[in-house]
Structure 1
Amino acid sequence: MQSETETQAVPDTSSTSTPATPPPAHIDPVWHAIQACAAGQFDEALPFLKAVVENHPDHVPALMALGAAHGQLGMLRESKDYFDRVVEADPKSAQAFSNLGNVLKLMNDLPAAVTAYRRAITLQPGLADAHYNLATLLLDIGDLEEAEKSLERALLFRPAYSEAHNNLGDLHMRRGKVEIALSHFRQALVWNQHLPQAQANLVLALYRLGLYEEGEAVVNTALAERPDDTQVLMNQAMGLLAQGRTADAEAIYRGLIERFPEEIGPWVNLGGVLQIQQRYEEAAECYRKAMSLKGVNASLCLASMAGLWLSQDQPAKAIEELKHAVMLESRHAGVLANLGWAMVSGGDAALGVESIRRAVALAPQLPELRSNLIYGVHFDPALTPEKRFETAREWNTCYGDPKDKLPIFPLRQFGKGDRLRLGIVSGDLRNHSVATCLEPLFEHLDHDRIELSCYYTSGQQDAVTERLKRHADLWRAVAPLSYFDLAQRIRRDGIDILIDLSWHTGGNRLAAFALKPAPVQASWLGFFATTGLDAIDFRLSDAIMDPPGQTEAWHSEQLIRMPTALTFRPPADAPAIASLPASRTGKLTYASVSKYGRINARVLDAWARVLHAQPDTRLIVFTGIDARDGATLERARRQFAMHELDEDRIDIRPRLPLADFLAALTTEADVVLDTFPYCGGVGTLYALWMGLPTVTLAGPSSYERTGASVMTHAGLGHWMATEVDAFVAIASHAGDDLSELTRLRESIRTSLKATPLLDGRQFARSFETALFEMWEVALAAQQAQKQEMTEGSDV
């Protein structure tokens, strides 16, 4: 986003110590020389004015003009010297101090510039330019609160100050208050309809609010005046992307590249559009081209390239690019956070978490970085539940009580025929594991009791998105909205219970929940652990994942337990279950279905013990790593070799399409070995649907017990262990009775359909019961608070 935040290139000479109505030029040659300087005619005027100040060292108008002229010529030291002489000769000249501040800012002496601006304001509180220039400096150094005050004062004294309106709008955009920003951009254009930066910012604000038609109208107006306005075109492309119009956005970037081939931005953005379209090789070429251009920020280009590899499940390549980026810019928080996540994905959780911690320390104002840290610590087996809870609570300490939190309103009383207004916030309402669990609920939700509103925070749409849309009473695509504007929209929709489905995973909107847009807020499904937020009142779970009395101490939310915490929709094109492989080969084959980043030293030790106890067995590791990332796949092979396991017993597999993965699972493997502490959820359900039980380790905290919950509700709780030795024992004896494994395989789909895991109607009823339980608990708490306040007032 561009904004008019630069101070004037030269000091202002619009107000000096000369009389308000200067005499004609033939009477006062000094005045004539001053006007010539203001017009850039320096050849004769400068020598004349220098002669004047040689004879009259305290001649304020001439000194002021000389200071301005030297500033225009880029001679900043000389310009400062002249303005120093002005303020010495006339210490009450507010304009002189304001101009001195401009020069000091250009010289990068920011503290002195602030002092000069404040002195000008003290001398003349109504000097709008001084307020404005101080604000631009404060914006540059990141003092947004003081900058906002200065811009508001500039507008108080000059309501038609277009640049101030534009910068104040820009400031509100930075804070995520796009609706407020929009009004200032409109005001800027009322007073100066051709202000380029205000037009560009107005386009961006309209797109971020989803006002695409109006945004296009402003684009057309701006381009009619300035067909080559790069910023307007870039913002238009962003708006098209928000609508899913990737081909149109691509065409704009290609057009910009054709006209401005040496501009970096269009190359990088085109790479991003191609990446969204999964045209990875073309995207990589764009990033490489950007890196060859003059003035490029190489570390950010490398980070973009790393994102390309991570999106293809190639963490080793991403780590390589990001290490180079860190060498170039070691204190860039985003680069360090991305490096950390690549390391976690590549199996180095402890190192990855440390890198993310460094990123948080460098940019503590960014809640998404701390969310990355919270998610990352759940991969590290060395950390205790207490430490993970402490890390989650740090998010609340830093961002959980925003000053612009929406006013609390009382819970409404339901009348006859009223429906509870349920809001779902998620970025995964597409072909994703979350949607796999969500679709059966949506199909069976009782719309006579529940009014369903979905707030979809991602721009990606597919056939699953379209199916989910059909079940919603209200569907809002809110990807462009800021946290603040999303919260405002939810509040206007009158949502009673708002449920987060993302937790601290990528793209979450927990900062919107912190503003408390709904009276009752809950977390569910995205990840089974505490959010750490005071603003989220409840977490939906079940008694296996959260045994009463065991996990409450590691939650900031109140637990609401359903019969089961999730339901599941098996893929319609899943292959038929094959006969038990061990019955054909006489040898048991284990499988791992968890992503590679969840496999740690403790897991490897346990699996090795199982394989050593049963020398005729094999293990297939479905890593989820792209086949082109040979380094990560080789690293996995070396890890098993270090446990003295023969290479022919370990089959390391790359990522496969879902149908191929399911087919390989049922035709080649007999039993699944789970990971820990981050165990399987949907992966365990896929395995069950294909006829394979999972040996799982139930740890002390919620997310360590997801596999235990699934297996118990499937009627297979005896496959669950509570300590590593028991895990090894269960797995080692899994092949003792092949007839029992065969019976389980043949009957499992039928038995699963009778459980809440696959019975969407039964799950929907328990989910609705949980909603009204949350409402009643919240209503009782509100009534108790009212009673307490009443009793207190009687004392």
Structure 2
Amino acid sequence: MQHTVQDSPQQGGDIRQAAAAHFNSANADFRDGRWEAALSGFEAALALDETMEPAAIQAARCHANRGQWQAARDGFARVLMINPASYTAWLESGHACRRLGLFEDADQAYRRAAGLAPERHETFVALARILEEFGRFQDADDAVDKAVAAAARTSAQTVATVHRMMARYRLEQKLPDRALASLEAGIRVAAESAATLEELCDWQVERGYALMLMGEHARAHKAFGAASVSTREGTLLRLAEVSYMNNLWEEAGEVLRRCVALHPTSVSSLMALARHCSHCWDVAEAERLLQQVEALGSHPEVPGIRANARIRGGDAEEGLRLLIDEAKANHDGGRACSRVAMTSLYSDSYSAAQILDLHTWLFEPLGVKARERASFRREPLAGRRIRLGFISADMHYQHPVNIFMQPILRELDRSRFECFVYAAGGLNDDQTQLARQRSEHWVEVETWTDAQLAARIEQDKIDILVDLLGHTAHSRGMMLGRRAAPVQVNYLGYPGTTGIPNMDWLISDAVVTPDGAERYYSERVARLPGTVFCFAPEEDYPLPPITQEMAERPLTFGSVNNIAKYSTRTLGLYKRVLDSVEGSRLSLRTASFSDPQATGFFRARLQDLGFDTERVSLQPPLALPQMMRAYRDIDIVLDAHPYNGGTTSLQALWMGVPVITLEGQQFVSRMGTSFLTAAGLADWIAPDDDAYVALAQEKARDRAALVTLRRELRQRLLARDAWNPVIHTRNFEKALIDILKAEGYATA
């Protein structure tokens, strides 16, 4: 007969005390954001007392705070085994399910929580959000009414909080009219409950954002002005963020500088201004701010911002070195790796084969635990439309993706394609609204996890997913690497191979990726006729008068490009051209030259390379209409190498300015060759450096022929298929259908 040894009361008390000690210590770590240490402490407490519900809840929250949503869901399931009636576990399990894209499970969890505690407003707010994400607005409004009723039992301030939470959710989904309704209701309640000036400033930031989204710009600026009197750091940082999201960069900078003046030792404020300065090409100021941050302690974003500042200062090679070091320390295929990939395209020292090898190494981790293509179930295409998805963060004014995608969205054959756009970025303006109107389904996903977005793509039954992001700031490479659709395509957003596992195809053309170039790409290549990008601006840019004076003035070579494109090889070519064409001048225009210190640095660089800097003009950026008019002062554009001009070269051609390009080996260094071939200007393409210089001499010599070409160039372009957006869109559609056929889809 066996006997069970029971813990004595004294032993049980000692165990409970030890568990409580672990719990209290872990809570201290939790409050300080040390999630790993906190998790270890809570697990130690649970090992001693597996029924300690608060420890189980906090352990699950540690996983949630680390973005480990499946582990968080499992953790809340453990809580529910201890206490099936735990309101907190049901509510927060719903949050985890939503982050995992398990929308039905989230809905059920929220409803269980509401049943357990109908007096709690948080559940109804969460339920309203998930209902709104699927367009169930009446049901969402009913849930909001219940949230308000529950909050009213607590205080007027809690009612205002409900309205504010709903407003923020609605702004994330770019539902400004519904957001404004919540904001106005909340402001009324806040004012009636004697809210402070700082609290009202908070409200005005979001109110201004909603009004901007609605196109009510004058009212929005008034709201932003009211918010700007705040001295609270969080309010000012949010105001700067919202200003930036609405392309109000100058205003964002003013707010951030005021924020730093008010909070000079805040790392958050210093970093926000450093990021802003880096984005706005204020390289010297960004570096000064980073040094202030480092004096206060380490920060994980500093290396990336510093490298970006180096790149925008014109030193892509040093920026790349810094970024590779960062990627080696964070080799997960994430943002640090994407920065390396993008920067490598500017490097003189990487061949096409080395670019592929680098990208393959960078993003190899993304293929781990990828979904099998065979697991996707789609109906046969016969008798239905192809469900086409685009992921983009860049449908806003002047961005190249927007410029090239707007005509495609306008002309897409809706009888054959059902169009879904997953909007992954925060910037918003009139062009964003136009793209939204042209999209059959528009889903705001900026704040969504990869799991959420992948679940939505699956729910939408997307047949072919076109990534317009590549390795830019909002990259969804981790999701794509694990496969979110049966067929995944890289187009437009990234000019070359992505190296992402399970990125199946690259849409290109026969010049950018000629026969035999497939070996430089991790994707299969689908080629459009003509050229890969169709430049068909919807805005009118009148041609300047082409006069005889243009043939008699000193010849001006020009380039309008990102400063990182001015590699050592490119500047060497520019110098040789200037030296070989007597009396010629060079005009360089880039965003960096709005910063006097960056301009001085670049001028010193030109002097070190032997330029006669009296013949070189360094111009700051202009708004697009003014920039297009400024092409009148340029006679010939000199393309950059290895990263050719893309949009800017096409804009130059549109304004009647021919381009000399150097034919390269990979996508970014063959774009100019593609454009000029499609334009019937093959005689402006140089096979090597010496030919580039000789070509510049030749074309500069016959000024009369140059003026004639400028008069005729736009009409010549308009007569060609590559500049016809309808033909281009039909070709794009055919490429998608051919890809589906190649992947085994039976198409009608």
The bucket for the TM-score relative to the shorter chain is 0.7 to 0.9
Q: Which letter does structure 2 place at the counterpart of 1:660?
A: Q
Moved more, 253-262 or 167-176: 253-262
Within the candidate set 674, 677, 690, 2:642 is matched to 677
Residues 1:350 and 2:317 are matched in the alignment: yes
CA-CA distance at 1:547 after TM superposition = 1.0
Residues 1:773 and 2:738 are matched in the alignment: yes
Secondary structure class of the residue paired with 1:428 = coil
Aligned to 1:557: 523
Within the candidate set 474, 497, 501, 2:441 is matched to 474
The two structures, once aligned, show a CA RMSD in angstroms of 3.9
Residues 1:688 and 2:653 are matched in the alignment: yes
Residues 1:653 and 2:583 are matched in the alignment: no
Q: Distance in 1 between matches of 2:515 and 2:540?
A: 39
Residues 1:266 and 2:266 are matched in the alignment: no
CA-CA distance at 1:523 after TM superposition = 1.0
Q: CA 1:385–1:135 in structure 2 vs 1: closer, same or farther (change >3 Å)? A: same
Aligned to 1:425: 391
Aligned residues: 692
Aligned to 1:37: none
User: Retained in 1: the 8 A contact 2:420–2:441?
Assistant: yes
CA-CA distance at 1:140 after TM superposition = 6.6
Secondary structure class of the residue paired with 1:570 = coil
Residues 1:308 and 2:276 are matched in the alignment: yes
Within the candidate set 141, 151, 156, 2:81 is matched to 156
Aligned to 1:325: 293
CA-CA distance at 1:747 after TM superposition = 1.7
User: Retained in 1: the 8 A contact 2:490–2:506?
Assistant: yes
Q: CA 1:289–1:640 in structure 2 vs 1: closer, same or farther (change >3 Å)? A: closer
User: Retained in 2: the 8 A contact 1:312–1:626?
Assistant: no
Q: CA 1:405–1:177 in structure 2 vs 1: closer, same or farther (change >3 Å)? A: farther
Q: CA 1:142–1:753 in structure 2 vs 1: closer, same or farther (change >3 Å)? A: closer
Q: Distance in 2 between matches of 1:423 and 1:289?
A: 42
User: Retained in 2: the 8 A contact 1:441–1:567?
Assistant: no
Secondary structure class of the residue paired with 2:342 = helix
Secondary structure class of the residue paired with 1:454 = strand
User: Retained in 1: the 8 A contact 2:333–2:363?
Assistant: no
Moved more, 657-666 or 174-183: 174-183
Q: CA 1:645–1:285 in structure 2 vs 1: closer, same or farther (change >3 Å)? A: closer
Q: CA 1:185–1:286 in structure 2 vs 1: closer, same or farther (change >3 Å)? A: farther
Q: Which letter does structure 2 place at the counterpart of 1:162?
A: Y
CA-CA distance at 1:549 after TM superposition = 0.7
Q: Distance in 1 between matches of 2:269 and 2:128?
A: 26
CA-CA distance at 1:553 after TM superposition = 2.0
Q: Which letter does structure 2 place at the counterpart of 1:304?
A: A
Matched ranges for 1:448-467 at <5 A: 448-467=415-434
Q: Which letter does structure 1 place at the counterpart of 2:83?
A: R
Residues 1:589 and 2:556 are matched in the alignment: yes
Q: Distance in 2 between matches of 1:134 and 1:654?
A: 53
User: Retained in 1: the 8 A contact 2:450–2:476?
Assistant: yes
Q: Which letter does structure 2 place at the counterpart of 1:256?
A: E
User: Retained in 2: the 8 A contact 1:528–1:541?
Assistant: no
User: Retained in 2: the 8 A contact 1:581–1:669?
Assistant: no
CA-CA distance at 1:650 after TM superposition = 0.8
Secondary structure class of the residue paired with 2:301 = helix
CA-CA distance at 1:392 after TM superposition = 2.3
Secondary structure class of the residue paired with 2:609 = coil
Aligned to 2:245: 276
Moved more, 300-309 or 467-476: 467-476
Within the candidate set 494, 505, 514, 1:527 is matched to 494
User: Retained in 2: the 8 A contact 1:179–1:209?
Assistant: no
CA-CA distance at 1:388 after TM superposition = 2.5
Q: Which letter does structure 1 place at the counterpart of 2:740?
A: W
Residues 1:165 and 2:86 are matched in the alignment: no
User: Retained in 2: the 8 A contact 1:177–1:482?
Assistant: no
Matched ranges for 1:696-715 at <5 A: 696-715=661-680
CA-CA distance at 1:463 after TM superposition = 3.7
Q: Distance in 2 between matches of 1:404 and 1:660?
A: 49
What's the CA shift string for 1:227-254, capped at 9, x where partnerless?
4459767645533542274996799797
Q: CA 1:499–1:589 in structure 2 vs 1: closer, same or farther (change >3 Å)? A: same
Matched ranges for 1:606-645 at <5 A: 606-625=573-592, 627=594, 629-645=595-611
Q: Which letter does structure 2 place at the counterpart of 1:386?
A: A
Matched ranges for 1:124-273 at <5 A: 125-136=50-61, 148-169=73-94, 171=96, 183-193=108-118, 214=141, 217=145, 220-221=148-149, 224=152, 225-228=154-157, 235-236=165-166, 238-242=168-172, 243=174, 245=176, 255-256=198-199, 264-273=233-242
Aligned to 1:48: none
What's the CA shift string for 1:625-661, capped at 9, x where partnerless?
363x211222222222333333331111100111211
Q: CA 1:558–1:264 in structure 2 vs 1: closer, same or farther (change >3 Å)? A: same
Moved more, 218-227 or 609-618: 218-227
Aligned to 1:719: 684
Secondary structure class of the residue paired with 1:539 = strand
Q: Which letter does structure 2 place at the counterpart of 1:527?
A: Y
TM norm structure 2: 0.82
Q: CA 1:131–1:443 in structure 2 vs 1: closer, same or farther (change >3 Å)? A: closer
Secondary structure class of the residue paired with 2:618 = strand
Q: Distance in 2 between matches of 1:335 and 1:185?
A: 40
Q: Distance in 1 between matches of 2:500 and 2:700?
A: 45
What's the CA shift string for 1:226-281, capped at 9, x where partnerless?
44459767645533542274996799797526699775322321222233345556
User: Retained in 1: the 8 A contact 2:42–2:58?
Assistant: yes
Q: Which letter does structure 2 place at the counterpart of 1:427?
A: A
Secondary structure class of the residue paired with 1:101 = helix
Q: Which letter does structure 1 place at the counterpart of 2:533?
A: L
Higher relative CO (CA 8 A, sep ≥ 6), structure 1 or 2? 2
CA-CA distance at 1:198 after TM superposition = 6.0
CA-CA distance at 1:96 after TM superposition = 3.8
CA-CA distance at 1:695 after TM superposition = 0.9
Q: Distance in 2 between matches of 1:631 and 1:232?
A: 48
Residues 1:496 and 2:417 are matched in the alignment: no
Q: CA 1:681–1:732 in structure 2 vs 1: closer, same or farther (change >3 Å)? A: same
Q: CA 1:402–1:99 in structure 2 vs 1: closer, same or farther (change >3 Å)? A: same
CA-CA distance at 1:153 after TM superposition = 1.4
Secondary structure class of the residue paired with 2:721 = coil
Residues 1:396 and 2:321 are matched in the alignment: no
Within the candidate set 680, 688, 700, 1:735 is matched to 700
Q: Which letter does structure 1 place at the counterpart of 2:82?
A: F
Q: Distance in 2 between matches of 1:670 and 1:377?
A: 31
Q: Which letter does structure 2 place at the counterpart of 1:645?
A: F
Residues 1:566 and 2:533 are matched in the alignment: yes
Aligned to 1:542: 509
Q: Which letter does structure 2 place at the counterpart of 1:488?
A: A
Aligned to 1:299: 267
